[in-house]
């Protein structure tokens, strides 16, 4: 520790006080101008070269794909079946359900999700999703514009995320409609 003359110590102390006061003033200004916006939590994951997401509230679990039992002669989008908390669930190919997008790598994870009607199913996925948020206003605007189950949403850093509305996805599938965006 350097021993400084008293006047230098006082000068440094005065500089520190002034610096802290400037910082406090800036923070007060930011707090006054910053308005908390409602956010929508999502589970984001890659699908091929694009980024997709589901509402985090619809996600129930992430499981290894090896738990699936194949079902012979099933529809092309059906990967198989699995047991989850005492229930037998369908394991479905998300890429196939969205109209043929291909995975960049083989799926290794199953996402157990609520289809939007209270029923659970599992969707294959390349990786465990990353939780993140989107502004609620952006999600609502995309929902109004979207015609199908996939909504295109831009993040604050201008990255495109395809937000999947599971209720619309499964309603479209059950009515026999096409799932293209």
Q: CATH number of the domain at 93, please.
A: 2.40.50.180
Q: What is the average pLDDT across 100-111? A: 72
Q: Is residue 179 part of a domain?
A: no
Q: Is residue 166 part of a domain?
A: yes
- Sequence-separated (6 or more) residues with CB below 8 Å from residue 181: 99, 146, 147, 148, 150, 152, 162
- Dist CA 117 CA 165 (whole Å): 12
- 61 and 73, same domain (yes or no): yes
- Dist CA 102 CA 150 (whole Å): 16
- Dist CA 165 CA 149 (whole Å): 5
Can you give the pLDDT at residue 179? 41
Domain span at residue 73?
39-172
Helix (H, G, I), strand (E, B) or coil at 154: strand
Taking the chain, what is the end-to-end CA distance rounded to the nearest angstrom?
67
Task: Give which of 48, 41, 26 is closest to 126, Cα–Cα.
Answer: 48
Kindly state the percentage of the chain with pLDDT values over 70.
Answer: 83
Q: What is the pLDDT of residues 14-27, one digit of tens each?
A: 888 888 888 888 88
- 31 and 44, same domain (yes or no): no
Q: From edge to edge, which strands make up the β-sheet containing 120-125?
A: 59-64, 109-114, 120-125, 87-92, 78-84
Q: How many domains does the structure of the chain reveal?
A: 2
Q: What is the pLDDT of residues 117-153, one digit of tens each?
A: 889 999 998 888 999 999 998 999 998 998 889 999 9
Helix (H, G, I), strand (E, B) or coil at 53: strand
Can you give the pLDDT at residue 43? 94
Q: Is 50 exceeded by the pLDDT of residue 44?
A: yes
β-strand partners of 164 = 54, 150
Lowest-confidence region among 26-40, 70-84, 142-156, 167-181:
167-181
Contact 144, 137 (CB under 8 A): no
Can you give the pLDDT at residue 180? 41
Q: What is the pTM of this model?
A: 0.71
Paired sense of beta strands 87-92 and 50-55, if any: unpaired
Q: What is the pLDDT of residues 67-103, one digit of tens each?
A: 888 889 888 889 899 999 999 999 998 888 887 666 6
Task: Give which of 152, 150, 149, 147 is closest to 174, Cα–Cα.
Answer: 149
């Amino acid at each position: 520790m350097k021993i400084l003359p008293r006047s230098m110590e006082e000068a440094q102390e005065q500089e520190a006080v002034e610096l802290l006061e400037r910082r406090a003033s800036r923070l007060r200004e930011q707090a006054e101008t910053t308005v908390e916006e409602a956010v929508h939590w999502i589970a984001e994951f890659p699908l091929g070269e694009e980024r997709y997401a589901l509402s985090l509230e619809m996600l129930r679990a992430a499981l290894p794909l090896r738990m699936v039992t194949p079902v012979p002669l099933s529809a092309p989008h059906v990967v198989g079946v699995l047991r989850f908390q005492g229930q037998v669930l369908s394991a479905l190919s998300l890429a196939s359900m969205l109209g043929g997008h291909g995975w960049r790598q083989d799926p290794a994870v199953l996402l157990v999700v609520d289809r939007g009607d209270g029923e659970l199913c599992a969707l294959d996925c390349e990786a465990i999703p990353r939780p993140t948020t989107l502004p609620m206003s952006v999600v609502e605007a995309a929902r109004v514009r979207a015609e199908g189950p996939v909504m295109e949403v831009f993040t604050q850093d201008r990255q495109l995320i395809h937000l999947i509305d599971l209720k619309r996805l499964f309603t479209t599938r059950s009515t026999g409609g096409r799932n293209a965006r």
